[in-house]
Amino acid sequence: MKRLLIFGTGQIGQVANYYFSEDSDYDVVGFTVDSAFIEQGGGIALPVAPFEEVEKRFPPDQCDMFVAMGYGKLNRLREAKLREARAKGYRIAHYVSSRAWVWRGFEPKDNLFLLENNTVQPFVTIGENTTLWSGNHIGHHAMIGANVFIASQAVISGSVTIGDNSFIGVNATVADNLDVGPRSVIGAGALLLRDAPEASVYPAVATERSKVPSDRLRGI
């Protein structure tokens, strides 16, 4: 089996470890984080090496690396760490769940993290360092940029373009043939029916709490 080193010991790193260990041809051999955060990796059974000197403990010619980070600073933190990993000489892994449906011609890029129950229809392209959490629909001919994070149950309709470094929230819907500019944020449950210029923000709108408490509801 190929050997894998994961950057990140937080929740996403732990999730990545589970998926790669259970559903890939990689053997996860350790973790790495910046030395300032080395003590925050509690509960990790595998060795954790400081990133500043990780190549001494895990040489790049012996294992690949996966950067398991969230969407902080519109994915720029994950993007920067990916560059640093490459500069150290590491090959970059990707993960596509065996329980996702992807079209036959799909080509996964470096540091893609595509979880279960995603539907990736024909002629979709997805850039490197992009995360698709579970259960999304990516319509035919859609183009998802690099350094994007798509949370669960989003619908990206056919022929949509999502620009680099964007974030798509849970249950968001983007109608077909739209362009979402780079560095845009589409909030949870948002419905997008027109193009979104660069750096657009469509905030989530929360349901208001009823003034009637639950013990006064009728029929429940």
Kind of pairing, strands 143-144 and 125-126? parallel
Core vs surface per residue 148-173: b (16+ CB within 10 A) or e: bbbbbbbbbbbebbbbbbbbbbbbbb
pLDDT reported for residue 38: 86
* In-domain check, residue 98: yes
Looking at 87, 120, 140, which one is the last position of a domain?
A: 87
Does a structural domain hold residue 219?
A: no
Chain segment 102-157, per-residue pLDDT in tens: 999 999 999 999 999 999 999 999 999 999 999 999 999 999 999 999 999 999 99
Give the mean pLDDT of the chain.
96
| Position 68 pLDDT exceeds 80 | yes
Q: Write out the residue range of the structural domain in which residue 60 sits.
A: 2-87
Q: Is the pLDDT of residue 40 over 80?
A: no
pTM above the 0.75 mark? yes
